[in-house]
């Protein structure tokens, strides 16, 4: 298994189907498009395009309040899957971005910035 940010690493792991070529972000034991078992695990290169962005002004927890306001994005990655992540506040839909990893509320999380 590849070590990604959810396991303390600095990478975004995703899966790909060797049969139909589908890619997706949340781990599964089979392809959600064609049902083939045994998907490949890969690490994303970090590039993508902003699909949506929202500014969070009222953080849901005390640990996140120190970071407010902060931006939450949906990013269409170059590998073909969409993920949610933190990002720079000046990002807009359609911006090309690259992922790095920053500490937020005691964890290292994906954070996208404009290229």
| CATH number of the domain encompassing residue 55 | 2.40.50
The reply to whether the predicted model has a pTM over 0.85 is yes
Asked whether residue 60 is assigned to any structural domain, the reply reads yes
67-111 pLDDT, tens digit each: 999 999 999 999 999 999 999 999 999 999 999 999 999 899 999
Q: Are 23 and 15 in contact (CB under 8 A)?
A: yes
Residue 20 lies in a domain: no
8 A C-beta contact, residue 102 and residue 86: yes
Domain count, the chain: 1
Residue 69 counted as domain residue: yes
Q: Is residue 59 one of the residues assigned to a domain?
A: yes
Strand extents, DSSP E, 17-90: 23-24, 40-43, 47-56, 70-77, 82-87
- pLDDT tens figures, 12-64: 999 999 999 999 999 999 999 999 999 999 999 999 999 999 999 999 999 99
In a domain, 105, yes or no: yes
Query: What is the CB neighbour count within 10 angstroms for residue 100?
Result: 11
Whether 2 is covered by a domain: the verdict is no
Query: What range defines the domain where residue 104 resides?
Result: 47-114
Assigned token pair, 34: 């064609």
Does any domain span residue 90? yes
């Amino acid at each position: 298994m590849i070590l990604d940010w959810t396991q303390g690493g600095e990478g975004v792991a995703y899966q790909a189907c060797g049969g139909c070529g589908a890619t997706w972000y949340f781990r599964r034991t089979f392809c959600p498009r064609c049902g083939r078992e045994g998907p490949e695990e890969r690490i994303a290169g970090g590039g993508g395009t902003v699909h949506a962005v929202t500014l969070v002004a009222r953080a849901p927890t005390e640990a996140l309040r120190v970071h407010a306001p902060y931006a939450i994005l949906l990013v269409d990655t170059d590998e073909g899957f969409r993920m949610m992540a933190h990002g720079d506040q000046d990002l807009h839909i359609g911006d090309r971005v690259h992922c790095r990893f920053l500490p937020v509320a005691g964890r290292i999380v994906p954070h996208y910035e404009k290229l």
